[in-house]
Structure 1
Amino acid sequence: MSAADFFNSARAYKRELTGNPLDTLSQEDVDAINAATAARWQPAENENAAKAVGQPQAFFGAVRAFTGDLAQSQIDGFSALLTAIGAARWPCSWCAYGLATAYWETNKTLQPVKEAYWLSESWRKEHLHYYPWYGRGYVQLTWQRNYERADEELDLGGQLSLDPDFALKPDIAARILVAGMEQGWFTTKKLADYLPSDGAGGFDAFKGARRIINRQDRASEIAKIAVKFQDALAAGDWA
């Protein structure tokens, strides 16, 4: 209903109450209606709005309490991950486990890495039978068919299929982590299988969530990290 229609209805209602067909709204009536409307109006929550850390200083302060000082490259990594996770509107427990996974899989660098990054490209070519479609990213994307799937589902226009190193771009790697963990790309297991869509996740739930990536390899260690990230996100007002 437009404002004009609303006030026309209000005039008609006043005439009905007073029995005077010529009655109209006084300025005092209009002011009272406007004041009452303003007091009750609340903007509708945008369900599609990205989530974000509301208090970055508090978040990074809590993170540094268990990581120590952070390099700018690590902060940039957090930014890429939180941007992609926020766009997906992940709840706090999912976000915490996504960060913990990236932190662990990249050896705490928060930068996308190549599979066996401590070894040479010639080693990978000689020893990895799915070369050049070896693991890359915050979470290791492997095999040509999975690169092609990610390219298609993330609408990358063939860039990832033509150049697998495109998965090393932080924003692309973050989107792959988000889609992969949410949809079960890596092991068929996904976040919703283990973690709540609202509220906090517990240690056992985080431990079980390791199956999303790699069965139960180092599951307890990563779960402990996830709990700490969850506390940091709560301190930073993740919403």
Structure 2
Amino acid sequence: MTDTLTTLRAQLLASVAVIDEALKAVPPEAVQLDLPKPAAFFDRLRGRLWPRMSVSQVQGCERILAACGHAGFGLAWTAYVLATAYHESGYRMQPIKELGGDAYLSKYDTGRLAERLGNTPEADGDGVLYAGRGDVMITGLDNYVRATVELRRLGIIGEDVDLAKTPERVLEPAISAAILIYGMRDGWFTGRGLDDLLPRTGSATVGQFTKARPIVNSMDKAAPIAGYAIDFQAALFAGGWA
């Protein structure tokens, strides 16, 4: 009996050591949520935005919540960021690359659209290289350059990271979340930011959320995203988001 207990104790200690090492590798903001009642938050979402939530979807929500909390976002801002990620990621709550093969993405390679996005006028593959990526789709060379400059300024990435040279790094969860929340806050995408269209503190109405879509993409899908934001806002309130 003693030998069995000793063996079990050793196994438990080894497991704890593995968990401790894993936690050391996670940035503090990724494991600290400004959400006193996370179970109430997720219970409010199930059956509304998802019939059931996968582990990946839960983790995606937690990652974005942690980033919003770290940035000091209030209720309406956080709800609209989550709603945007929900829509842009196809409900996955994880960074994705824009769907479509090379033939589809070549629309960004030449012509007026390519020029507007900062891609070269030649048919040289820029459309595929700088396709949309992330929790919110950044598309085109200019947006990858802008994200690099802004994230360096914020101290989130170093001088050794250049998203224009390694665009696939936008799919890294921490980088993607930073682009989502600071891009929406500071108006990187369209020149309109969260502060222009939503209250910094407290809740927002469905009308306010609807009018907030130009932060990311004109009025495309503005109404359904506003509905998602209302659901996220109610869930955040239930969870005790300050």
Scaled by the length of structure 1, the TM-score of the pair is 0.74
Aligned equivalent of 1:61, options 43, 46, 63: 43
Counterpart of 1:165, as a letter, is E
- For residue 220 of structure 1, give the secondary structure of its aligned residue in structure 2: helix
Matches within 5 A, 1:75-114: 75-114=58-97
Following TM superposition, the consecutive aligned residue runs of length 4 or more in structure 1 with deviations greater than 4 angstroms are none
Contact 1:51–1:238 at 8 Å: present in 2 too?
no
Shift of 1:226: 0.4
Shift of 1:83: 1.5
Contact 2:105–2:131 at 8 Å: present in 1 too?
no
Structure 1 residues 20-61: Cα deviation after superposition (integer angstroms, max 9, x where no partner)? xxxxxxxxxxxxxxxxxxxxxxxxxxxxxx861111111111
Matches within 5 A, 1:59-208: 59-66=41-48, 67-115=50-98, 117=99, 119-120=100-101, 122-123=102-103, 126-129=106-109, 130=119, 131=127, 132-155=129-152, 156=157, 157=159, 158-208=161-211
Contact 2:41–2:238 at 8 Å: present in 1 too?
yes
Matches within 5 A, 1:14-25: none
Shift of 1:197: 1.2
State the aligned residue count: 187
Distance (whole Å) between structure 2 residues aligned to residue 89 and residue 124 of structure 1:
38
Cα RMSD, aligned residues only: 1.6
Distance (whole Å) between structure 1 residues aligned to residue 87 and residue 175 of structure 2:
18
- For residue 154 of structure 1, give the secondary structure of its aligned residue in structure 2: helix
Distance (whole Å) between structure 1 residues aligned to residue 230 and residue 151 of structure 2:
29
Aligned equivalent of 1:52, options 17, 29, 34: 34
Distance (whole Å) between structure 2 residues aligned to residue 140 and residue 161 of structure 1:
15
Contact 2:144–2:167 at 8 Å: present in 1 too?
yes
Shift of 1:124: 5.1
Counterpart of 2:206, as a letter, is F
Contact 1:51–1:89 at 8 Å: present in 2 too?
no
Distance (whole Å) between structure 2 residues aligned to residue 148 and residue 221 of structure 1:
30
Distance (whole Å) between structure 1 residues aligned to residue 90 and residue 196 of structure 2:
26
Distance (whole Å) between structure 1 residues aligned to residue 65 and residue 237 of structure 2:
14
Distance (whole Å) between structure 2 residues aligned to residue 154 and residue 84 of structure 1:
14
Task: Give yes or no for the alignment of 1:238 onto 2:241.
Answer: yes
Contact 1:182–1:190 at 8 Å: present in 2 too?
yes
Higher Cα Rg, which structure = 1
Counterpart of 2:220, as a letter, is D
Contact 1:141–1:147 at 8 Å: present in 2 too?
yes
Q: Which residue of 2 aligns with 1:28?
A: none
Distance (whole Å) between structure 2 residues aligned to residue 99 and residue 61 of structure 1:
16
Distance 1:126 1:215, change over 3 A: closer
Structure 1: 5+ residue stretches without partners? 1-49
Counterpart of 2:43, as a letter, is G
Distance (whole Å) between structure 1 residues aligned to residue 136 and residue 105 of structure 2:
20
Distance (whole Å) between structure 2 residues aligned to residue 216 and residue 111 of structure 1:
23
